Structure 1
Amino acid sequence: MTNALATVIIVVSLAAAAYALVTALRNRAMGWGHLIALGVVEVLLIVQAVLGFVKLAGDEGPKQPATFIGYLLAILLIPAAGAGWGMLERTRWGPGVIVVACLAVAVMIVRMNQIWTGNG
Protein backbone atom coordinates (compact mmCIF):
# COMPACT_ATOMS: atom_id res chain seq x y z
CA MET A 1 0.00 0.00 0.00
CA THR A 2 1.05 3.52 -0.62
CA ASN A 3 0.32 5.71 2.40
CA ALA A 4 0.04 8.90 0.36
CA LEU A 5 -2.45 7.34 -2.04
CA ALA A 6 -4.39 5.79 0.85
CA THR A 7 -4.67 9.22 2.45
CA VAL A 8 -5.88 10.76 -0.81
CA ILE A 9 -8.49 8.02 -1.20
CA ILE A 10 -9.75 8.57 2.35
CA VAL A 11 -9.96 12.34 1.91
CA VAL A 12 -11.72 12.12 -1.47
CA SER A 13 -14.09 9.46 -0.19
CA LEU A 14 -15.00 11.49 2.89
CA ALA A 15 -15.49 14.60 0.75
CA ALA A 16 -17.82 12.65 -1.56
CA ALA A 17 -19.71 11.36 1.50
CA ALA A 18 -20.10 14.90 2.82
CA TYR A 19 -21.35 16.12 -0.56
CA ALA A 20 -23.88 13.29 -0.72
CA LEU A 21 -24.96 13.94 2.88
CA VAL A 22 -25.69 17.58 2.10
CA THR A 23 -27.73 16.48 -0.91
CA ALA A 24 -29.68 13.99 1.20
CA LEU A 25 -30.35 16.57 3.90
CA ARG A 26 -31.65 18.94 1.24
CA ASN A 27 -34.08 16.17 0.18
CA ARG A 28 -32.66 15.94 -3.35
CA ALA A 29 -31.98 12.97 -5.60
CA MET A 30 -28.54 11.91 -6.81
CA GLY A 31 -27.06 13.87 -9.72
CA TRP A 32 -24.10 13.94 -12.07
CA GLY A 33 -21.83 15.41 -9.41
CA HIS A 34 -22.27 12.30 -7.31
CA LEU A 35 -21.42 10.04 -10.23
CA ILE A 36 -18.30 12.08 -10.96
CA ALA A 37 -17.24 11.90 -7.30
CA LEU A 38 -17.76 8.13 -7.24
CA GLY A 39 -15.85 7.85 -10.52
CA VAL A 40 -12.88 9.67 -9.02
CA VAL A 41 -12.97 7.37 -5.98
CA GLU A 42 -13.14 4.33 -8.29
CA VAL A 43 -10.15 5.47 -10.37
CA LEU A 44 -8.11 6.02 -7.21
CA LEU A 45 -9.08 2.56 -5.96
CA ILE A 46 -8.03 0.99 -9.27
CA VAL A 47 -4.63 2.69 -8.99
CA GLN A 48 -4.37 1.42 -5.40
CA ALA A 49 -5.25 -2.11 -6.52
CA VAL A 50 -2.64 -2.10 -9.28
CA LEU A 51 0.04 -0.77 -6.92
CA GLY A 52 -1.00 -3.28 -4.26
CA PHE A 53 -0.69 -6.24 -6.60
CA VAL A 54 2.64 -4.98 -7.95
CA LYS A 55 4.01 -4.65 -4.42
CA LEU A 56 2.65 -8.06 -3.44
CA ALA A 57 4.37 -9.57 -6.47
CA GLY A 58 7.60 -7.93 -5.31
CA ASP A 59 7.41 -9.66 -1.91
CA GLU A 60 6.23 -6.60 -0.03
CA GLY A 61 3.25 -6.44 2.26
CA PRO A 62 1.67 -8.86 4.71
CA LYS A 63 3.08 -12.35 5.22
CA GLN A 64 -0.36 -13.90 4.59
CA PRO A 65 -1.91 -11.69 1.91
CA ALA A 66 -5.27 -13.49 1.41
CA THR A 67 -7.30 -11.05 3.53
CA PHE A 68 -5.57 -8.06 1.97
CA ILE A 69 -6.30 -9.36 -1.55
CA GLY A 70 -9.93 -9.90 -0.59
CA TYR A 71 -10.22 -6.31 0.59
CA LEU A 72 -8.34 -5.08 -2.48
CA LEU A 73 -10.82 -6.74 -4.83
CA ALA A 74 -13.99 -6.15 -2.80
CA ILE A 75 -13.37 -2.43 -2.36
CA LEU A 76 -13.50 -1.98 -6.13
CA LEU A 77 -17.17 -3.02 -6.13
CA ILE A 78 -18.40 -0.53 -3.54
CA PRO A 79 -18.43 2.72 -5.60
CA ALA A 80 -20.04 0.97 -8.57
CA ALA A 81 -22.69 -0.64 -6.37
CA GLY A 82 -23.34 2.69 -4.63
CA ALA A 83 -23.73 4.47 -7.95
CA GLY A 84 -26.12 1.86 -9.29
CA TRP A 85 -28.24 1.74 -6.16
CA GLY A 86 -28.20 5.53 -5.83
CA MET A 87 -29.45 5.93 -9.41
CA LEU A 88 -32.28 3.47 -8.81
CA GLU A 89 -33.39 5.27 -5.66
CA ARG A 90 -34.71 8.62 -6.89
CA THR A 91 -35.46 9.99 -3.41
CA ARG A 92 -33.19 11.51 -0.78
CA TRP A 93 -32.09 7.98 0.11
CA GLY A 94 -30.12 7.66 -3.13
CA PRO A 95 -27.47 10.07 -1.86
CA GLY A 96 -27.78 8.31 1.52
CA VAL A 97 -26.57 5.12 -0.14
CA ILE A 98 -23.60 7.04 -1.53
CA VAL A 99 -22.77 8.33 1.96
CA VAL A 100 -22.64 4.76 3.27
CA ALA A 101 -20.61 3.55 0.28
CA CYS A 102 -18.02 6.32 0.62
CA LEU A 103 -17.71 5.81 4.37
CA ALA A 104 -17.25 2.07 3.77
CA VAL A 105 -14.43 2.82 1.32
CA ALA A 106 -12.66 5.03 3.88
CA VAL A 107 -12.97 2.40 6.62
CA MET A 108 -11.78 -0.38 4.31
CA ILE A 109 -8.71 1.63 3.29
CA VAL A 110 -7.82 2.13 6.96
CA ARG A 111 -8.28 -1.60 7.56
CA MET A 112 -6.18 -2.49 4.50
CA ASN A 113 -3.40 -0.27 5.81
CA GLN A 114 -3.56 -2.09 9.17
CA ILE A 115 -3.32 -5.45 7.42
CA TRP A 116 -0.45 -4.21 5.24
CA THR A 117 1.61 -2.96 8.17
CA GLY A 118 0.78 -5.93 10.39
CA ASN A 119 -0.95 -3.85 13.05
CA GLY A 120 -4.30 -5.58 12.85
Structure 2
Amino acid sequence: MILVLAYVVIGLALVSVVWGLVTAIANKPPGKAQLLYAAGVEVIVLVQSVIAVVAMIGGFRPAEFATTIGYLIGIVVLIPLAWFWANVERTRFSGVVLAVAAAAVAAMTLRLLVLWTPA
Protein backbone atom coordinates (compact mmCIF):
# COMPACT_ATOMS: atom_id res chain seq x y z
CA MET A 1 0.00 0.00 0.00
CA ILE A 2 1.37 3.37 -0.97
CA LEU A 3 0.90 5.92 1.82
CA VAL A 4 0.52 8.94 -0.47
CA LEU A 5 -1.98 7.12 -2.67
CA ALA A 6 -4.00 6.12 0.39
CA TYR A 7 -4.23 9.76 1.44
CA VAL A 8 -5.25 10.70 -2.11
CA VAL A 9 -8.07 8.13 -1.88
CA ILE A 10 -9.16 9.59 1.46
CA GLY A 11 -9.08 13.16 0.14
CA LEU A 12 -10.99 12.33 -3.04
CA ALA A 13 -13.54 10.34 -1.06
CA LEU A 14 -14.10 13.25 1.33
CA VAL A 15 -14.69 15.58 -1.62
CA SER A 16 -17.26 13.06 -2.86
CA VAL A 17 -18.93 13.08 0.57
CA VAL A 18 -19.31 16.86 0.51
CA TRP A 19 -20.49 16.85 -3.11
CA GLY A 20 -23.11 14.18 -2.38
CA LEU A 21 -24.44 16.07 0.62
CA VAL A 22 -24.55 19.35 -1.30
CA THR A 23 -26.61 17.79 -4.09
CA ALA A 24 -28.97 16.27 -1.53
CA ILE A 25 -29.40 19.60 0.25
CA ALA A 26 -29.99 21.27 -3.13
CA ASN A 27 -32.74 18.68 -3.71
CA LYS A 28 -31.14 17.49 -6.97
CA PRO A 29 -30.01 14.07 -8.17
CA PRO A 30 -26.32 13.56 -8.88
CA GLY A 31 -25.31 14.85 -12.29
CA LYS A 32 -22.97 13.33 -14.84
CA ALA A 33 -19.96 15.15 -13.42
CA GLN A 34 -20.60 13.77 -9.95
CA LEU A 35 -21.05 10.23 -11.27
CA LEU A 36 -17.87 10.52 -13.35
CA TYR A 37 -16.02 11.79 -10.29
CA ALA A 38 -17.23 8.77 -8.30
CA ALA A 39 -16.02 6.51 -11.11
CA GLY A 40 -12.63 8.25 -10.97
CA VAL A 41 -12.42 7.68 -7.23
CA GLU A 42 -13.16 4.02 -7.88
CA VAL A 43 -10.28 3.81 -10.36
CA ILE A 44 -7.87 5.19 -7.74
CA VAL A 45 -9.28 2.76 -5.16
CA LEU A 46 -8.74 -0.12 -7.59
CA VAL A 47 -5.14 0.94 -8.20
CA GLN A 48 -4.48 1.12 -4.45
CA SER A 49 -6.14 -2.26 -3.86
CA VAL A 50 -4.21 -3.97 -6.66
CA ILE A 51 -0.95 -2.60 -5.25
CA ALA A 52 -1.88 -3.95 -1.81
CA VAL A 53 -2.84 -7.39 -3.18
CA VAL A 54 0.38 -7.60 -5.22
CA ALA A 55 2.38 -6.74 -2.09
CA MET A 56 0.61 -9.48 -0.14
CA ILE A 57 1.15 -12.00 -2.95
CA GLY A 58 4.80 -10.97 -2.91
CA GLY A 59 5.09 -12.02 0.72
CA PHE A 60 4.03 -9.01 2.80
CA ARG A 61 1.74 -9.98 5.65
CA PRO A 62 -0.21 -7.25 7.42
CA ALA A 63 -0.86 -7.62 11.13
CA GLU A 64 -4.47 -8.73 10.57
CA PHE A 65 -4.48 -10.53 7.24
CA ALA A 66 -8.16 -11.55 7.04
CA THR A 67 -9.39 -8.13 8.15
CA THR A 68 -7.16 -6.46 5.57
CA ILE A 69 -8.57 -8.68 2.81
CA GLY A 70 -12.10 -7.84 3.94
CA TYR A 71 -11.43 -4.12 3.86
CA LEU A 72 -9.78 -4.35 0.44
CA ILE A 73 -12.84 -6.14 -0.93
CA GLY A 74 -15.18 -3.68 0.79
CA ILE A 75 -13.60 -0.53 -0.59
CA VAL A 76 -13.65 -1.96 -4.11
CA VAL A 77 -17.37 -2.82 -4.10
CA LEU A 78 -18.87 0.13 -2.21
CA ILE A 79 -18.59 2.87 -4.83
CA PRO A 80 -19.81 0.74 -7.77
CA LEU A 81 -22.87 -0.29 -5.73
CA ALA A 82 -23.61 3.33 -4.79
CA TRP A 83 -22.95 4.43 -8.39
CA PHE A 84 -25.41 1.86 -9.70
CA TRP A 85 -28.00 2.92 -7.12
CA ALA A 86 -27.51 6.59 -8.02
CA ASN A 87 -28.10 5.77 -11.69
CA VAL A 88 -31.20 3.67 -11.07
CA GLU A 89 -32.88 5.91 -8.50
CA ARG A 90 -32.49 9.46 -9.76
CA THR A 91 -33.57 11.35 -6.62
CA ARG A 92 -31.84 13.67 -4.20
CA PHE A 93 -31.16 10.68 -1.95
CA SER A 94 -28.85 9.24 -4.57
CA GLY A 95 -26.37 11.94 -3.56
CA VAL A 96 -26.64 10.76 0.04
CA VAL A 97 -25.97 7.18 -1.07
CA LEU A 98 -22.83 8.32 -2.91
CA ALA A 99 -21.79 10.36 0.13
CA VAL A 100 -22.24 7.44 2.53
CA ALA A 101 -20.29 5.09 0.26
CA ALA A 102 -17.48 7.63 -0.08
CA ALA A 103 -17.40 8.18 3.69
CA ALA A 104 -17.12 4.44 4.20
CA VAL A 105 -14.29 4.24 1.66
CA ALA A 106 -12.44 7.04 3.45
CA ALA A 107 -12.90 5.38 6.85
CA MET A 108 -11.93 1.95 5.56
CA THR A 109 -8.83 3.35 3.88
CA LEU A 110 -7.80 4.97 7.16
CA ARG A 111 -8.29 1.63 8.87
CA LEU A 112 -6.22 -0.09 6.18
CA LEU A 113 -3.38 2.31 6.94
CA VAL A 114 -3.51 1.17 10.56
CA LEU A 115 -3.66 -2.51 9.55
CA TRP A 116 -0.83 -2.16 7.05
CA THR A 117 1.90 -3.00 9.52
CA PRO A 118 3.99 -6.15 9.17
CA ALA A 119 2.92 -9.10 11.26
TM-score (norm 1): 0.91
Once the 2 structures are TM-superposed, how far is the Cα of residue 45 of structure 1 from its aligned partner?
Answer: 0.9
Structure-2 change in CA distance of 1:64 and 1:92 (3 Å)? closer
Structure 2: 5+ residue runs without aligned partners?
none
| Structure 2 partner of 1:85 | 85
Asked whether 1:47 is paired with 2:86, we answer no
Structure 1: 5+ residue runs without aligned partners?
none
Runs of 4+ in 1 over 3 A off after TM superposition: none
Most deviating of 35-44 and 4-13: 35-44
Most deviating of 1-10 and 55-64: 55-64
Most deviating of 87-96 and 8-17: 87-96
What amino acid does structure 2 have at the position aligned with 1:97?
A: V
SS in 2 for 1:29: coil
TM-score (norm 2): 0.91
Most deviating of 67-76 and 97-106: 67-76
CA RMSD of aligned residues (A): 1.4
Mapping of residues 1-120 of structure 1, within 5 Å: 1-117=1-117
How far apart, in 1, do the equivalents of 2:92 and 2:46 lie? 29
Once the 2 structures are TM-superposed, how far is the Cα of residue 64 of structure 1 from its aligned partner?
Answer: 4.3
